Amino acid sequence: MTARLVVLVSGSGTNLQALIDACADPAYGASIVAVGADRDAILGLERADRAGIPTFVAKVGDFTSRDRWDEALADKVAAFEPDLVVSAGFMKLLGPAFLARFGGRTINTHPALSPSFPGIHGPADALEYGVKVTGCTLFVVDEGVDTGVIVAQTAVPVEDDDTVEVLHERIKVAERSMLVDTVGRMAREGFAVEGRRVRFGA
Ligand code: GRF
């Protein structure tokens, strides 16, 4: 059985592209049934269009409250009946209505080694702190900021003359292969969350 993925994006969508490329191989075990965004006119949506994948947009500003937006986003995602929701550079926190429906099967990628440097400035915060090793984390989304149960992590070295951009690009290379490898395993083998641990296999 091929796992149905809905991918959520906010920006350039290089993680999405890595998943689109991986899904082209039937042996990968997953296919992207829709791509959603919280804004229009982003490269991520263009990548989906180019691949012939249906897209939808839910902008916070178009709703009377954050909760209404969260419900609408959950409805739009639900219409595609996903097995797994992948937040890949989606720059909004998913709320209670969304997690009530998709909690436990929504994953997010973060450009730092959790629990260090949560939030939207992971690479800058790592550089500022002076760590020699940072990386990326794939986790099951919960109500916190980058606090969910960890599915996979990859370490990335910090070089002496790194800028935030250079470091983030190095992390993103690791992030894409972590995402592709791990989503493939989740799709093919299944997974279970036990306390703070994720176990692969049905
Ligand atoms: C990734 O580093 C993701 O972890 C972060 O934003 C970046 C998104 O990149 N939150 P892209 O849109 O997949 O190229």
Domain residue ranges of the chain, discontinuous segments joined by +: 3-190
Active site residues: 110
Residue of the CA atom closest to atom 3 of ligand 1: 89
Residue of the CA atom closest to atom 4 of ligand 1: 110
Confidence of residue 1 (pLDDT cuts 50, 70, 90): confident
Q: Give the helix/strand (H/E) hosting 60.
A: none
Q: Say yes or no: CB of residue 123 within 6 Å of ligand 1.
A: no
pLDDT over 80 at 150, yes or no: yes
Confidence of residue 143 (pLDDT cuts 50, 70, 90): very high
Measure the CA–CA gap between 172 and 170, rounded to whole angstroms.
5
| pTM, entire model | 0.97
The mean per-residue pLDDT over the stretch 82-92 comes to 97
Correct CATH for 3-190 of 3.30.1330.10, 3.40.50.170, 3.10.110.10, 3.40.50.2000: 3.40.50.170
Evaluated on CA atoms 63, 66, 68, 69, the torsion sign reads: positive
Q: What is the pLDDT of residue 202?
A: 77
Cα distances (Å, whole numbers) of residue 31 to 34, 91, 167 = 9, 23, 30
